[in-house]
Structure 1
Amino acid sequence: MRTRRAMVGRLYRELNLTAGQVMGFGVTTERRRQTVYDNQNNGRVFLPGVRSRGWGDPPVQDAAVNQAYDGSAATYDFYSDVLGRDSVDGAGMELVSTVHYGVGFDNALWDGAQMIYGDGSGHIFQVGALTRSLDVIAHELTHGVTEFTAGLIYSKQSGALNESMSDVFGSLVKQYSLNQTADQADWLIGEGTLVPQLGRALRSMSQPGTAFSGDRQPMHMDHYVNLPDDNDPRNDNGGVHVNSGIPNHAFYLAATTLGGHAWEVAGKVWYTALTKLIRPHTQFREAAQATVDVAGSQFGNDEQAAVLDAWKAVGVLQ
């Protein structure tokens, strides 16, 4: 599915095609920004599934449908109201979601054209938890934003940046919905989605490596995990979910140093870097310098110093 996402994203960027041209759907009308479908546990052959709720429709009896609808709406509103972006493609792309995907499917993901939510098996993810988690929804939809902008290659450092950008904006959407300051936020991604015996969350941006049992995310380049990108799932595409802890922690440090609402300065800096300066093969150091440059040009010396110090603290810049 991630391979498909990468291929679709490349078509968008290199051929300058719209979502509708590539996938045959996805262009919004004036009245409709999102639609939720029910896969009825049938898997990929039945995507997107049976239409369950469209834009402006009232809630239905299925909690997963309503949660996917509300999470997509909250993410759309954040990007629109805070960053001036019209949907994931910046051009009003309809947000299509499918719930009840497969049987006990332990994942939620953006597949290049739409959101897919499994129900969870109860062994890794709690049943129903993936549609309840706003930051997970926003994380996955941000993969769509990255797909249409920087196109970060899903491997090693560029892939870790891809994952980190999704964590950054996943957390910001949650903070925005709760009107939390950087100091008030928990900086956890997917809190309460895992079964309790595994841990409290998928990742911690404030303390990488502490979210769940077996979490080996580093927070400093001294502990960067050098894994091969060899199609072995144990190696995580060269450690994209592992090493994302380093840029995640840099954002956390910058946001908490700047204070206030994290989306107002740090979030805008990271968004401008993602959409204007970062490219498919960008590495940690290049991305860090991009955010430092944006902080100085878009805000000022104090903001630039906070961003620079954050990247120094995690060992990416000196």
Structure 2
Amino acid sequence: MCMCHNPINCIVPPHMLDVMMLRGDKSVRKMAESLMKVSDSVREDRAAHSGSGVVPTAAGAGTFVSRALALGAADAHTCDRRVHDGDEKAALPGNLVRGEGDAATGDEEVDRAYDGAGDVFNLYSEEFDRNSIDGFGMPIVQTVHHRRNYNNAFWNGEQMAYGDGDGEIFQTFTELSVIAHEISHGVVQHSGGLIYQGQSGALNESYADVFGAMTQQRSQGQDVYQADWLVGKGILGPNINGVALRSMKAPGTAYSDALLGQDPQPYHMDFYVNTTSDNGGVHINSGIPNHAFYLYCMYLGGNAWERPGQIWYKALQKINNPHATFGDWAAQTLDASIELYGAGSYEMMMLRRAWNLVGIDI
């Protein structure tokens, strides 16, 4: 029985909570159950905002398009970061403790959230000509110290929130790939959206992982061969047997722990997980498009935010299908590669090969 009810856009996947409910002691089970209840609340908040970023088009009702494409992006890009202290309470956003241009506070969580949001803003602005989350300079609102010992981070449709972790299972959530992952869920929302169910939901998660890893690599000046391709590196507790939440290089190998279980992500369609849990396995099957992006980067070399990233970003802006399957997404990336680099280009041919290697023919 699935113990989780659609924890939309939380970084810790529900299959981890399911395993903790089965394997943990009384305190761990209580913690996991509490996380599930909070996730339900996040889901409801997120659903209330799911229409933002969608504009009507001539294609008819229910057609999703990027606001930036439909209305035109703003000329000037201005970063507006607002970091709040939740003071271990549930209310959002909490007390504003650092605004744009303010000096460092000395609170590591506050300052990491501020700096991380700047890295994400710069990636989207400088490499993809996108002005913040919505393309129009939306303030980047974040809350740190959310709830007491809270083992998660999420995007709720309007802002990010990060727990401090309990110091045992998780120890921080203001890690750059996590920050970029959550902000990128907002980018998906304001680019027409990918319904958080089944393959479209896994694509939503994968896009957030891709841009989380990309932000980390750009911040550290790493090319695709130097990068470790981990998402959530360093957030696991000191006694947890694992290196991250997910590995794009080798899905299924990020952790193997007595409490958290074995990383269940597949790397190929032959191992696609059919499940009713986790909205049809959105955090699990995202390993397949994640691995396709990794393989593509290995073929092209250089920086992930250059040719591969440009193709993925353009595909998101033009997919115009909130129920997109992996095959739909792969075909859209192929179209983007042709538009950007030409039919018969090396970029196009290697992209087709990368998708074929994970079991998706285009």
User: Which one is further off, 7-16 or 263-272?
Assistant: 7-16
Query: In 1, are the aligned partners of 2:198 and 2:281 still within 8 Å (CA)?
Result: yes
Deviation of 1:286 after TM superposition, in Å, equals: 0.4
Give the aligned residue type for 1:293: D
User: Which one is further off, 295-304 or 48-57?
Assistant: 295-304
Query: In 2, are the aligned partners of 1:292 and 1:308 still within 8 Å (CA)?
Result: yes
Query: In 1, are the aligned partners of 2:250 and 2:267 still within 8 Å (CA)?
Result: yes
Q: In angstroms, what is the RMSD of aligned CA positions?
A: 1.6
Q: Deviations over 1:207-252 (max 9, x none)?
A: 0000012101000000000012xxxxxx111100000000000000
Give the aligned residue type for 1:210: T
Deviation of 1:278 after TM superposition, in Å, equals: 4.5
Q: Which residue of 2 aligns with 1:8?
A: 49
Q: Deviations over 1:6-43 (max 9, x none)?
A: 43022441579xxxxxxxxxxxx997611111010111
Cα distance 1:79–1:298, how it changes in 2: closer, same or farther (>3 A)?
same
Query: In 1, are the aligned partners of 2:53 and 2:192 still within 8 Å (CA)?
Result: no
Q: Specify which of 168, 173, 186 is matched with residue 215 of structure 2.
A: 173
Q: Deviations over 1:252-311 (max 9, x none)?
A: 000110111111100000000011224210010000010011111211311001111010
Which of 1 and 2 has higher RCO (CA within 8 Å, sep 6+)?
2
Give the aligned residue type for 1:220: H
Q: Which residue of 2 aligns with 1:208?
A: 251
Corresponding residue SS for 2:97: strand
Q: Deviations over 1:140-181 (max 9, x none)?
A: 000000000131011110000000000000000111111111
Q: How does 1:295-306 map to 2 (within 5 A)?
A: 295-300=337-342, 301-306=345-350
Q: Specify which of 113, 118, 128 is matched with residue 158 of structure 2.
A: 113
- Structure 2: gaps of 5 or more residues: 1-41, 58-75, 257-261
Q: Partners in 1 of 2:282 and 2:192 — Cα distance?
A: 16
Q: Which residue of 1 aligns with 2:168?
A: 123
Q: Specify which of 105, 108, 111 is matched with residue 66 of structure 1.
A: 111
Q: Which residue of 2 aligns with 1:85?
A: 130
Q: Which residue of 2 aligns with 1:313?
A: 357
Q: Partners in 2 of 1:148 and 1:12 — Cα distance?
A: 4
- Structure 1: gaps of 5 or more residues: 17-28, 229-234
Deviation of 1:5 after TM superposition, in Å, equals: 1.9
Query: In 2, are the aligned partners of 1:74 and 1:173 still within 8 Å (CA)?
Result: yes
Aligned residues: 295
Q: Please tell me whether residue 39 in structure 1 is matched to residue 86 in structure 2.
A: yes
Deviation of 1:199 after TM superposition, in Å, equals: 1.0
Query: In 1, are the aligned partners of 2:52 and 2:190 still within 8 Å (CA)?
Result: no
Q: Specify which of 216, 220, 226 is matched with residue 268 of structure 2.
A: 220
Give the aligned residue type for 1:181: D
Query: In 2, are the aligned partners of 1:156 and 1:240 still within 8 Å (CA)?
Result: yes
Query: In 2, are the aligned partners of 1:278 and 1:287 still within 8 Å (CA)?
Result: no
Q: Which residue of 2 aligns with 1:199?
A: 242
Q: Please tell me whether residue 100 in structure 1 is matched to residue 145 in structure 2.
A: yes
Identical pairs, percent: 48
Q: Please tell me whether residue 162 in structure 1 is matched to residue 210 in structure 2.
A: no
Deviation of 1:63 after TM superposition, in Å, equals: 1.1
TM-score by length of 2: 0.79
Q: Partners in 2 of 1:30 and 1:86 — Cα distance?
A: 5
Corresponding residue SS for 2:154: strand
Cα distance 1:7–1:198, how it changes in 2: closer, same or farther (>3 A)?
farther
Moved over 4 A (4+): 29-32
Q: Partners in 2 of 1:297 and 1:192 — Cα distance?
A: 38
Corresponding residue SS for 2:142: strand
Q: Which residue of 2 aligns with 1:254?
A: 296
Q: Partners in 1 of 2:78 and 2:330 — Cα distance?
A: 39
Query: In 2, are the aligned partners of 1:124 and 1:198 still within 8 Å (CA)?
Result: no
Corresponding residue SS for 2:49: helix
Q: Partners in 1 of 2:48 and 2:293 — Cα distance?
A: 29
Query: In 2, are the aligned partners of 1:108 and 1:130 still within 8 Å (CA)?
Result: yes
Cα distance 1:226–1:82, how it changes in 2: closer, same or farther (>3 A)?
same
Give the aligned residue type for 1:200: V
